[in-house]
Amino acid sequence: MEIRIDDSIKLCEIQTEFNEHFPFLKLEFFEYDPTGKAVFTKENLINDTQQALSKIRHIHTPGHISLNGHQKVSTFEQHFRENLGVNIQVFRKSANAWLQTTSTDDWTLAEQNKKGEEMNHPVDNATPEDFEEYNEMR
């Protein structure tokens, strides 16, 4: 699946398309830094996702973004930056928090999504008495 990217698409539309394919991941957009030093801080986070992409990008050529689950997160983020002029970060759901995937950017989008799904399943609430054998370490 691919998303057609042009200046008129809204940030929230890109996020929605992405989230439909990877429900345990989300995209966040960050201010462009012309020095090339992408700073992914809360201060640089773009909160107004109703705005058109043209407002935040520095490359205005239309393009496509592949939502291929086999693509590494680092490659996906790099494609946005180099081909579309947009700084993004992928986040993975972990219970009630969203984790920035920088330490696992070499994982594929599918792997990240699977890990997010695993981290969001209810924990088995079985008590020790529910097990036939229960040995407490002393």
pTM: 0.81
pLDDT tens digit string along 55-94? 999 888 898 898 899 999 999 999 998 998 899 999 999 9
For the cut 90, the answer to whether the pLDDT of residue 29 exceeds it is yes
- Under a CB-based contact definition with an 8 Å cutoff, are residues 81 and 87 in contact? yes
How many angstroms separate the CA atoms of 19 and 22, rounded? Answer: 5
DSSP 60-75: ---EEEE--TTSBHHH
138 pLDDT band, cuts 50/70/90, is very low
pLDDT tens digit string along 34-58? 666 667 878 889 999 999 999 999 8
